[in-house]
Structure 1
Amino acid sequence: MQEVTNYGKELREAIHAGEAAMQKLENAEKHLSSAKSWGWLDVIGGGAVISFVKHWKVNSAMEELEEVKKALWNFQRELQDINDCVGMNIEIGNFLVFADFFFDNFLVDLMVQQKISEMQDQVVNARINVNRVLKELYRIERGVEF
């Protein structure tokens, strides 16, 4: 009985961590979109004020992506707790590859619009993967009585 209770607790924690990661990913997507818009304005000759706003938006996006990285690490840890609890293996895909790729390379090329677009694509893909895992956790949760 204790194992079922522990499993239920770990399952709820993983769901909560996944939902938090989804929220962070959605926020990051909004920040990247804003940075991209300001970047295009700068590309077409926006001047000093536009450049300042663009840099501010890019910095905001970077801060959000740092939060995404933390949330994805937490989600991974919680999924591992479920795996340890019942010997189940829930794959989380390349979430952390996305985070590592971003932080290893994006700082150098931050102003490049193509890089922002690529990061938007990565965030969308991470959201799809987190959503897929959450659906599986919800399905498992419905089948378990606590």
Structure 2
Amino acid sequence: MQTDNLIPNGDFSQGDKEWRIYFSPGSPAWAEIRDGYCHVKEGAAAEQTLELAAGTYYFSFECLFPEASKSYVNLALEMSGLRKQIDVRTGPDYLPYAMTFEVAAQQSGGPDLFSLALRGNQVGGKYRNVRLISID
């Protein structure tokens, strides 16, 4: 099992390095990455795309959304067909989320493209400790 985090700057300790910030056109979207967290709201998202080899992976993160906001995390694998939306829950403190998923071997023998988006809608909230590790 590989314990190194495959998400570059998943702890946000280097500001927005490695993260692309997306703002919905025509919206008052807002994002801030600092002090170990990513704060997104009003349709903003922080995104990354990685190449993953075939195998089993464990994905986890924590988030703090004090008010209902219909915010979520999107995961996708281009070739393997994974499409997952993880709706975040409201709470007074950071809540943990985790899941495992498989990356299928590609006919080309190459990697699959993994896309990750941390989305904040309405009043939004904060994400931290975004991790992806290989478990086989």
Q: Taking structure 1 as the reference length, what is the TM-score of the superposition? A: 0.27
Structure whose alpha-carbon radius of gyration is higher: 1
Q: Taking structure 2 as the reference length, what is the TM-score of the superposition? A: 0.29
